Chain A
Amino acid sequence: MNTSVMDVTSALEEQLEYSNVTDLRQDFLPAIERIQKNPALRVLVLKHGHPQAILMSSQTYDLFKKLVNAILTATDKMSREQRIDAAFNRLTNERSTSLDSAMAAAATASAIQKRAARTIIGDIQNNLQELDNALQGEEVAG
């Protein structure tokens, strides 16, 4: 996953509220008002802890319909072979995306290990310096 995808994902998560059915029943009107004030806000309704439905502004829903319509209209204009090729391309692109995130995770792990190694080397250098000083002190005293 690249940085921009991660930014969008985290931005979407920030606009998400969780509510169970019982709480939402009592908080329904205030929730609608919150959504009216902020159309990007969505309320994810949980039942027994599992996501069941989502409450969103009608503006956002209309936009979502437009988006779906645009995707499906573009697909409908393709021949069956083109549709299949496009679906294969999406599958292949997912592979490179997951490789990117695996590489990013590996790079992070490597950076953490380097930092840890530098700290250990620093500690060893300090200990050697202290030992050196102590030995020099003993020599002077002797």
Chain B
Amino acid sequence: MAVELTYDLVLELRFLFTGQYPIALMEQIGKQKNEVYSGLSQDIRRPGMLSGSREFSVAGRNFLVLFASDQRQIDQVSDKRPLRVIDIHELKVSEK
């Protein structure tokens, strides 16, 4: 099984164009994609979707990252599992 990680367009813009999120966060997410995928559970509001969130710490900043996987987009032939980064929320100290 291979996990294919993609980012929502708006998040990609914030990473690659405005630099609002550190590239190191992308690297961390990439390293943990298999683990993240395994931890997803059925999204109650959206049939056919798995979702889950995980906290990441990069350069003293904390981010709550929301992931989703559309089970209808699974490539059965090559057994590729899609994993999409849906939202990134930077946690303030008070939210920790």
Contact = CB atoms under 8 A, between A and B. Distances in A.
A92 B73 CA distance: 9
Interface in A73-98: 75, 80, 83-84, 86-88, 90-92, 94-95, 98
B73 A98 contact: yes
B8 to A, nearest CB: 4
Contacts, number: 42
B8 A80 contact: no
Interface in B38-61: 46, 49
- Name B's interface SS: mixed
Interface residues of B, number: 19
A11 interface: no
Interface residues of A, number: 16
B13 A68 contact: yes
Contacts of B9: 71, 90
Contacts of A88: 46, 49, 68, 86
A72 B13 contact: yes
B37 to A, nearest CB: 15
Contacts of A84: 66, 86-87
A55 to B, nearest CB: 17
Interface string B57-81: 0000000001010101100000000
A87 B46 CA distance: 13
A86 B49 CA distance: 15
A87 B87 contact: yes
Contact of A91 (B13, B14, B86): B86
A91 B72 contact: no
Contact of B10 (A87, A95, A98): A87
A79 B49 CA distance: 22
A95 B46 contact: no
Contacts of A92: 70
Interface of A: 68, 71-72, 75, 80, 83-84, 86-88, 90-92, 94-95, 98
6 contacts: A68-B18, A71-B13, A72-B10, A84-B66, A86-B10, A88-B68
